Amino acid sequence: MAAPSDSSKPGPTSPGYEASGVNTDQAEDGLGRLIGHIKSTWSLSDARVQLDLGYFANVIDLAGTGIAICTDGIGSKALVAQMVGKYDTVGIDCVAMNVNDLICVGATPLSMVDYVAVESAQPAMLEAIGAGLAEGARQSNISISGGEIAQLKDIIKGHGEGLGFDLAGTAVGHVEIDKINLGAGVRPGDVIVGISSNGIHSNGLSLARRALFELADYQADSHVEALGHSVGEELLRPTYIYVAEALDILARVKDIGALIHITGDGFLNLCRVKADVGFIIDDLPQTPALFPLIQDITGSDNMEMYHVFNMGIGFCLVVRPGDADQVIDIVRGHGKACQRIGYVTDGPKGSVKIEPAGIEMTR
């Protein structure tokens, strides 16, 4: 079992998120009860587990070869796909959620297997999901080497008769054991470079759906002027894949402090690094229109918003000050918006101060 993925990594439960059916405090208690049993298996195999649980992926030592592994899914984004009747992008999300975690340990993604649980095996839906998986694989330069379809009509339910499905995957990659990156070398003064997201990605959909479809009473095809298109189109934007730029940076920049996937828990993901540091975010790009729209509808405060959503930044790199310009140029060369958003401090450890939002979060 890999380290807990971003979508399952519990964080502080906020009132709005709990009202939307997600209780992260309860999940954390359950995860704590599960972990002991999982770790008891680590002595059973000659493929030695290299990392503790809690980072973005784990690594096993297979006869001197480091194999990175992680697992994740698309969560309740599946419900939006059902509402819209469009299934050809959620496969990209599934690939993205996995490969974006693999690169955080410095690994090159290699392959993935998928698991699709369906209420009813509908050929057109499965074909569209497969098209998305293939596109995600092309963007990541990986293979989809297998998978499983389970028909679970008594378990899987969704939006519309027979349309329920869940989609998850497990990905593997390669990293040399002595090049595993856990952010242990991050130090005060390092620069945080933020890469743009493509909207909500695959986290916070429970709160977003409650805000837009329940509280605001929008339909999936409702055109919202602030968004420039329909609600369904906005929520189905596929998660950006950051593999190409991350591998390019790892190849060209000698000393990368950390690579951080900004998913569930938002910027608190920075605090996963194995260094005794804190973080200050002092310059953010304009927040995508979706997030202030959700905030206006729900009345959520900034603390909740920055805990639940990526707020426009999907991936961060912590780099030495002298490397920041080169890193930014490389990312922009791959077609994504990118800028310096903050810096590392000497503490307190596990804290992120987001100055534009006037908040400080602690892990």
Map out the domains of the chain with their CATH numbers.
15-179 (3.30.1330.10), 191-362 (3.90.650.10)
Q: What is the DSSP string of 60-79?
A: EEETTEEEEEEEEE-TTHHH
pTM for the model: 0.92
CA distances from 220 to 167, 224, 322 (A): 20, 10, 46
Question: How many Cβ atoms from other residues are within 10 Å of residue 190's Cβ?
Answer: 27
Q: How far apart, in whole angstroms, are the C-alpha atoms of residue 36 and residue 125?
A: 38
Tens of pLDDT, residue by residue over 217-265, are: 999 999 999 999 999 999 999 999 999 999 999 999 999 999 999 999 9
Prior bond to 348 cis, omega within 30? Answer: yes
pLDDT at position 4, please? 37
- Cross-strand bridge partners of residue 118: 151, 165
Q: How far apart, in whole angstroms, are the C-alpha atoms of residue 357 and residue 341?
A: 13
Q: How far apart, in whole angstroms, are the C-alpha atoms of residue 210 and residue 216?
A: 8
Q: How far apart, in whole angstroms, are the C-alpha atoms of residue 151 and residue 155?
A: 9
DSSP-derived 3-state class of residue 51: coil
In the numeric block, which tokens belong to residue 325?
């310009």
Tens of pLDDT, residue by residue over 84-116, are: 999 999 999 999 999 999 999 999 999 999 999
Give just the sign of the alpha carbon dihedral 137, 144, 8, 59.
Answer: negative
CA distances from 200 to 29, 42, 215, 272 (A): 27, 35, 18, 21
Question: Residue 210 has what DSSP assignment?
Answer: I
Contact call for residues 204 and 293 (beta carbons, < 8 A): no
Q: Which strand (E) or helix (H) includes residue 143?
A: strand 143-151
Q: In what order do the strands lie in the sheet with 58-62?
A: 48-49, 58-62, 65-73, 165-174, 108-118, 143-151
Question: Residue 185 has what DSSP assignment?
Answer: T
β-pairing verdict for 108-118 and 143-151: parallel
Q: How far apart, in whole angstroms, are the C-alpha atoms of residue 59 and residue 1?
A: 10
β-pairing verdict for 58-62 and 143-151: unpaired
Q: How far apart, in whole angstroms, are the C-alpha atoms of residue 107 and residue 172?
A: 9
Instruction: List the chain residues with pLDDT less than 70.
Output: 1-25, 27
Residues 6+ apart with CB under 8 A from 48: 42, 60, 61
pLDDT at position 14, please? 54
